[in-house]
């Protein structure tokens, strides 16, 4: 018997939301593959989201948050509970510098790549290091998205969130304990982030955005159907230094290997792509195979950077909200 309560329309029927039962999630991810959500709900207001969170909490219903789908793999059997999508204007608004505030407030559902371009156009520095990273603001904060030029944490002033009880919290960056691809967010949903953006020379900022994007384009297989880097760069226990996951995968002889429609990129070993007709479970099986081969070859265990949603994981932590 499932530990999750079956979701019924009574949960949202009187709320200002869009809801789709048995919603296909695969098309909403960058892999374009995967199963369905029991229900996908897009609140139009913060009040609707708050009430929804409270009802899910009262009924012991798991809540997940779908961002841009760029760092997500939904297994073929799909997931139960509620998947929330913050794609309405109430969660995408940006209040730029110049309105009397000291920081820029940006809704958690806003598109990060568009924000990078808009901040450069306005001559505001602080986001250019994130050029070319597909994410929503909420997802970028939760995983501290970044790359060779920097990460999200270096510009975050504070975040606004709703707890699983539907309570408002504002948390300063110093309390989020940002680290490599992680931060110490409480369980709940990020609704906005405040960024310290610095006025500068628009031409120089646009130049840096182009530099960062061109570097990504030259080193990563951006044309493949993938979710970006599959694994975090691990710490080598022998040296205490962070190693390149792509290099370890290459040395283990996994470049070009495939299972079903999933394959390890020949261009960058830390990218697992998907061919037409492949499945989400092909990707997961290949990721497990890569982890095992690298462990056998180097003694180093790789941890996934890509978030995996699966019914098999639901009983482990029913109330956790994940935002890829």
Q: Of 50, 71, 89, which residue is a domain's last?
A: 89
pLDDT at 221: 82
CATH of the domain at 122: 3.30.465.10
Can you give the pTM of this predicted structure? 0.90
Helices (DSSP H) in 59-135: which residue ranges? Answer: 112-121
Tracing tokens 């906005």 back to the chain, one arrives at 192
Tell me if residue 268 falls in helix, strand or coil. coil
CATH of the domain at 37: 3.30.43.10
CATH of the domain at 295: 3.90.78.10
Query: How far is the C-alpha of 147 from the C-alpha of 193, rounded, in Å?
Result: 20
pLDDT at 97: 76
Closest of 73, 78, 135 to residue 286, by C-alpha: 73
**Which structural domain range is residue 40 located in?**
9-89
In a domain, 158, yes or no: yes
In a domain, 70, yes or no: yes
pLDDT < 50 regions, the chain:
1-4, 314-323
**b/e per residue, 104-124, with b = 16+ CB within 10 A?**
bbbbbbbbbbebbbbbbebbb
Q: Of 160, 186, 217, which residue is a domain's last?
A: 217
In a domain, 85, yes or no: yes
Helices (DSSP H) in the chain: which residue ranges? Answer: 46-58, 112-121, 137-143, 202-219, 245-251, 280-298
pLDDT at 312: 72
Shared-domain flag, residues 73 and 98: no
| Active site residue ranges | 181, 229, 305
Shared-domain flag, residues 81 and 14: yes
Shared-domain flag, residues 206 and 98: yes
Shared-domain flag, residues 145 and 105: yes
Shared-domain flag, residues 75 and 155: no
Shared-domain flag, residues 137 and 211: yes
Which regions of 146-276 does DSSP assign to beta strands (E)? 146-147, 150-151, 156-163, 168-172, 188-195, 198-199, 258-259, 262-264, 272-274
pLDDT, averaged across the chain: 92
pLDDT digits (tens, 9 = 90+) for 276-297: 999 999 999 999 999 999 999 9
Shared-domain flag, residues 175 and 96: yes
Shared-domain flag, residues 111 and 78: no
């Amino acid at each position: 018997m499932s530990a999750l309560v079956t979701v019924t329309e009574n949960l949202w029927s009187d709320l200002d939301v869009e809801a789709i039962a048995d919603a296909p999630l695969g098309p909403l991810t960058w892999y374009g593959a995967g199963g369905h959500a029991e229900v996908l709900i897009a609140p139009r207001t913060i009040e609707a989201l708050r009430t929804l969170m409270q009802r899910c909490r009262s009924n012991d219903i798991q809540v997940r948050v779908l961002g841009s789908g760029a760092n997500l793999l939904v297994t073929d059997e799909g997931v139960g509970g509620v998947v929330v999508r913050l794609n309405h204007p109430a969660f995408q608004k940006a209040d730029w510098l110049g309105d009397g505030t000291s920081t820029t407030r940006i809704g958690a559902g806003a598109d990060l790549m568009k924000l990078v371009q808009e901040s450069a156009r306005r001559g505001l520095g602080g986001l250019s290091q994130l050029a070319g990273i597909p994410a929503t603001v909420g997802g970028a904060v939760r995983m501290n998205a970044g790359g060779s030029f920097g990460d999200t944490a270096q510009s975050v002033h504070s975040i606004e969130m709703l707890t699983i009880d539907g309570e408002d919290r504002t948390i300063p960056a110093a309390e989020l304990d940002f680290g490599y691809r992680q931060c110490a967010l409480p369980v709940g949903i990020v609704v906005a982030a405040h960024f310290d953006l610095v006025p500068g020379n628009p031409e120089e900022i646009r130049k840096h955005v182009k530099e960062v994007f061109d570097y990504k384009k030259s080193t990563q297989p951006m044309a493949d159907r993938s979710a970006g880097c599959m694994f975090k760069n691990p710490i080598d226990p022998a040296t205490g230094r962070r190693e390149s996951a792509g290099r370890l995968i290459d040395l283990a002889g996994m470049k070009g290997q495939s299972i079903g429609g999933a394959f390890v990129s020949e261009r960058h070993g830390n990218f697992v792509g998907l061919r037409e007709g492949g499945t989400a479970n092909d990707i997961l099986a290949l990721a497990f195979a890569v982890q095992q081969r690298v462990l056998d070859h180097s003694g180093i265990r790789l941890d996934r950077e890509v978030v995996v949603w699966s019914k098999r994981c639901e009983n482990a932590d029913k109330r956790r909200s994940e935002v890829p």
